[in-house]
Amino acid sequence: MKKLIDFDKEGFKKEVITNVKTLYRRPIEEATPQQVFQAVSYAVKDDIIDRWIATHKEYEKKNVKTVYYLSMEFLMGRALGNNLINLTYYDAVKEALDELGFDLNLIEDQEPDAALGNGGLGRLAACFLDSLATLGYPAYGCGIRYRYGMFKQAIKDGYQIELPDDWLKDGNPFEIKRPEYAVEVKFGGYVRVENRDGRNYFIQDGYQTVRAVPYDVPVVGYGNNVVNTLRIWDAEADQEFCLDSFDKGEYEKAVEQQNLAKTIVEVLYPNDNHYAGKELRLRQQYFFISASVQRAILKFKEKNSDIHNLPDKVTFQMNDTHPTVAVAELMRILMDEEGLEWDDAWDITTRTCAYTNHTIMAEALEKWPIELFSRLLPRIYQIVEEINRRFVLKIQSMYPGNQDKVKNMAILYDGQVKMAHLAIAGSYSVNGVAALHTKILEERELKDFYEMRPEQFNNKTNGITQRRFLLHGNPLLASWITDKIGDEWIVKLSNLKKLKVYATDEKYQQEFMNIKYQNKIRLANYIKEHNGVDVDPRSIFDVQVKRLHEYKRQLLNILHVMYQYNELKTNPSYDMYPTTYIFGAKASAGYKRAKLIIKLINSVADVINNDASIKGKIKVVFIENYRVSNAELIFAAADVSEQISTASREASGTGNMKFMLNGAVTLGTMDGANVEIVEEVGEENAVIFGLRAEEVMKYEREGGYNPKDIYNNDAAVRTVLTQLINGMYSSDDPDRFRDLYDSLINEDVYFILKDFASYVEAHRKIDTLYRDEKNWAKMVMLNTACSGKFSSDRTIEEYAKEIWNLKKVKVTLD
């Protein structure tokens, strides 16, 4: 790895020793690994701080335009290793620690993941921050400092158990509390109108306040001295109010205030793609949005005198509908605090806000009951009402007499506030996250909005950061690549195409496959340690890791494993290459069917892994507590990447890209970004199966299909389904999996049976391809070589040029 930033090894070692001493009153020889982790992190932070200060000085000097990436979720994972990578002295620190008698890998393992997100959407936000800093774009991530992040998953008797993620218990060495930037956020009460000098002022009264206090986390750019900020908000009770109440002896009121504050940021909702309509979640949304927008405006005003110039200096990018109250909050500030008239405020707002859509699934759309929304946010609701009134007038003037248009597009309808509609009405840009997804938005899901204002819509295909998911996660492959093509790929992933010439050369194929084998051993050791299962690194590692959701079809995967097991047991001529099926997935705590699927996977694993008669041909492993840190090991070790969502349902997927980058072959449907992966690597270097999106959507328009036809006509399917209810995998309770059986037989909303035969065939194809070692090596090498498009650097360049209009900044240290 190129050393771009100077590193003083001896000075660093001294600092670590001093830190252990001052933090823990201990000599380094007696420090625990956790204490060493803290000491090392503080030493690294020291280096980061100078760059952080220099970056912000430069931003201020240039009065740059800044993007505020507003997101309920930032799934950052661990910081230490990533910061070292981006400071370009990971290897040097490894050496320094070796000399002190510590292994950097073990020290890194002391750090809990910052799991302030569920899955794809939160991890995308984290990759975007990495790319923004690396490209030198002025940016803030704005989110919530959840006291408890994504729950820790334990598996007990095959069932998922959720344990609290107490990620802050040892302190977070990289964050800095900024009480000087605290702001007040108001909830509830009522709105009073006051006429002053002939103008009506709307004043919220009788409200409760919460103090929003920011913690800043540095986001280090790769080798360029840029350090951006992830600003996450904590909630505190209003101190003055509390003291006042105490004085009056109103102890209970003070405690109530304290609790209100505490509960807002207590925990991340573990729902992925499923809206539950909880009041506390709306509180969370307004809390961090009001704080972020207020602070952004205050900052803008430090350098700019005319609020009309806001769109030239600020974009609020809304990560899905979760931060959409930003539209109304900005309107409130512009009118009630800055004194602008409606039209002026609306013009500014709609040139400042932009919205990214991440899903087409109805159950993920946020629609707040008006009763709840207006009670919690009375002034914001008034503004939303007026936005809606004017928006409906506009619809009516464009489509006179067309009630359907109003029904489909109104922001307030059926007693609900439709957040996606508010986001679209209030934004200058609406984007999808993969070409197919954007097309479906334009042609189906958001058709009416698209027809009204086509120029507002655009696509930004997702991406991932190669710094975490290759340079850090797969050091062997990273250094092999650097050996072949130099290290510029670290900041310019399209360079990987230079690897194509090696893909047909036997010597390099062997090198590449040997690295894959080493990574498989690393994962096998992890599995042995965590699951107690022996897996053979020479078997095919077939991996599906992602949130558990019916549309992602982990059920299809495990049904196929059951099918294959049947073949092995009953068909003497059945020949299969030994395969290890690896799963990792968290299910939302309240998502019963998803949890049952986890139990099924573990039950199938129990039966198959313990059947000596199949001679280890199939192993099934469920990796507990799948998260960013173990994901890095998993991607590096995969041969086959299972991307098998029902076509049209997965907006993009980003795991698919991480597998591809690390040299795995996609076994997938033509869904989300899979379509573009196949486009880049060529259809012959992926295995595609199943219904296409148009076919799925056609069935849906026509009321579905009849899964019983398949049950009746396909004996293999029938056998597998019967095994769900005959106790084969649930001898203590044969009815355990009946819900899954019923769902497949009666509805099969996700076309699992419909795609089953095609999926079986796809697996046969993988089996055949894998046996041809040279061709397989070529395929996986081409996957890596063709993955350049899927860098989040490319995605962010597109956002910066086409939506945000940002300018790059150079930072030097004096």
The set of catalytic residues is 358, 546-547, 552, 654, 658
Considering the complex, state which of residue 55 and residue 71 has its C-beta at the smaller distance from ligand 26Y: 71
Considering the complex, state which of residue 173 and residue 653 has its C-beta at the smaller distance from ligand 26Y: 653
Mark 233-272 with x for binding to ligand 26Y (rule: CB under 6 A) and - for no binding: ------------------------------------x-xx
Q: Tell me which residue of 811, 523, 789 sits closest to 679, measured CA to CA.
A: 789
| Minimum distance of ligand 26Y from residue 519's CB (angstroms) | 24
Considering the complex, state which of residue 325 and residue 725 has its C-beta at the smaller distance from ligand 26Y: 325
| Minimum distance of ligand 26Y from residue 355's CB (angstroms) | 13
Whole-angstrom distance, CA of residue 471 vs CA of residue 491: 11
Q: From the list 189, 270, 475, 672, which residue makes contact with ligand 26Y (rule: CB under 6 A)? A: 672
Q: Which letter does DSSP use for residue 646 in this model? A: P
Does 669 sit near ligand 26Y (CB under 6 A)?
no
Whole-angstrom distance, CA of residue 534 vs CA of residue 521: 11
User: What φ, ψ does residue 483 adopt, rounded to 5°?
Assistant: -60, -40
Q: Contacts by 440-444 with C-beta closer than 8 Å and gap 24+?
A: 440/360, 440/648, 440/693, 440/697, 441/357, 441/360, 444/360, 444/697
Percent helix, strand, coil in the chain, to 5, is 55, 15, 30
Task: Enumerate residues 723-762 that contact ligand 26Y by CB under 6 A.
Answer: none
Single out the segment in contact with ligand 26Y by CB under 6 A; choices: 81-89, 209-217, 652-660, 771-779: 652-660
Considering the complex, state which of residue 47 and residue 650 has its C-beta at the smaller distance from ligand 26Y: 650
- Give kind and range of the element (H or E) at residue 677: helix 674-681
| Minimum distance of ligand 26Y from residue 105's CB (angstroms) | 29
Does 359 sit near ligand 26Y (CB under 6 A)?
yes
| Minimum distance of ligand 26Y from residue 320's CB (angstroms) | 6
| Minimum distance of ligand 26Y from residue 134's CB (angstroms) | 19
Whole-angstrom distance, CA of residue 324 vs CA of residue 209: 21
Residue found by looking up tokens 């040997």 in the block: 514
Give the three-state DSSP class for 369.
strand
Single out the segment in contact with ligand 26Y by CB under 6 A; choices: 208-216, 356-364, 439-447, 470-478: 356-364
Task: Enumerate residues 449-488 that contact ligand 26Y by CB under 6 A.
Answer: 462
User: What φ, ψ does residue 486 adopt, rounded to 5°?
Assistant: 80, 175
Considering the complex, state which of residue 645 and residue 723 has its C-beta at the smaller distance from ligand 26Y: 645
| Minimum distance of ligand 26Y from residue 359's CB (angstroms) | 5
Q: From the list 113, 175, 366, 680, which residue makes contact with ligand 26Y (rule: CB under 6 A)? A: 366
| Minimum distance of ligand 26Y from residue 273's CB (angstroms) | 4
Whole-angstrom distance, CA of residue 41 vs CA of residue 46: 9
| Minimum distance of ligand 26Y from residue 415's CB (angstroms) | 18
Q: From the list 183, 291, 651, 760, which residue makes contact with ligand 26Y (rule: CB under 6 A)? A: 651
Task: Enumerate residues 104-143 that contact ligand 26Y by CB under 6 A.
Answer: 118-121, 124
Considering the complex, state which of residue 41 and residue 153 has its C-beta at the smaller distance from ligand 26Y: 153
Considering the complex, state which of residue 660 and residue 725 has its C-beta at the smaller distance from ligand 26Y: 660
Please compute Rg for the chain using Cα positions: 27
| Minimum distance of ligand 26Y from residue 377's CB (angstroms) | 18
Whole-angstrom distance, CA of residue 533 vs CA of residue 543: 16
Q: From the list 652, 669, 791, 795, which residue makes contact with ligand 26Y (rule: CB under 6 A)? A: 652
Does 586 sit near ligand 26Y (CB under 6 A)?
no
Q: From the list 354, 433, 446, 675, which residue makes contact with ligand 26Y (rule: CB under 6 A)? A: 433
Does 274 sit near ligand 26Y (CB under 6 A)?
yes
CB count in 10 Å sphere of residue 192: 11
Considering the complex, state which of residue 119 and residue 173 has its C-beta at the smaller distance from ligand 26Y: 119
String of DSSP letters for 230-275: EEEEEEEE-HHHHHHHHHTT-HHHHHHHHHHHHHHTSB----SS--
Query: How distant, in Å, are the alpha carbons of 127, 170, 497, 654, 783 from that of 790?
Result: 11, 36, 12, 9, 11
Whole-angstrom distance, CA of residue 103 vs CA of residue 85: 16
Does 654 sit near ligand 26Y (CB under 6 A)?
yes
Residue found by looking up tokens 């860098």 in the block: 791
Total number of residues binding ligand 26Y (CB under 6 A)? 23
**What does the block give as tokens for 199?**
């103008």
Half-sphere exposure of 68 (CA within 13 A, CB side): 28
Give the three-state DSSP class for 806.
coil
Does 431 sit near ligand 26Y (CB under 6 A)?
no
- Across 406-445, b (16+ Cβ under 10 Å) vs e yields beebbbbbeebbbbbbbbbbbbbbbbbbbbbbbebbbeeb
Considering the complex, state which of residue 209 and residue 669 has its C-beta at the smaller distance from ligand 26Y: 669
Q: From the list 127, 142, 364, 527, which residue makes contact with ligand 26Y (rule: CB under 6 A)? A: 364
| Minimum distance of ligand 26Y from residue 676's CB (angstroms) | 12
Does 275 sit near ligand 26Y (CB under 6 A)?
yes
Considering the complex, state which of residue 88 and residue 431 has its C-beta at the smaller distance from ligand 26Y: 431
| Minimum distance of ligand 26Y from residue 523's CB (angstroms) | 24
Considering the complex, state which of residue 547 and residue 754 has its C-beta at the smaller distance from ligand 26Y: 547
AA letter at 583: F
Paired residues of 201 in beta bridges = 194
Task: Enumerate residues 66-105 that contact ligand 26Y by CB under 6 A.
Answer: none
Q: Show Cβ contacts of residue 264 under 8 Å, excluding neighbours closer than 6 positions.
A: 210, 235, 280, 283, 284, 287
Considering the complex, state which of residue 221 and residue 432 has its C-beta at the smaller distance from ligand 26Y: 432
- Across 653-677, b (16+ Cβ under 10 Å) vs e yields bbbbbbbbbbbbbbbbbbbbbbbbb
Mark 692-711 with x for binding to ligand 26Y (rule: CB under 6 A) and - for no binding: --------------------
Cα torsion through 428, 73, 127, 779, rounded to 10 = -100
Single out the segment in contact with ligand 26Y by CB under 6 A; choices: 514-522, 526-534, 644-652, 794-802: 644-652
| Minimum distance of ligand 26Y from residue 796's CB (angstroms) | 14
Q: Binding residues for ligand 26Y, per CB under 6 A?
A: 118-121, 124, 269, 271-275, 358-359, 364, 366, 433, 462, 650-654, 672
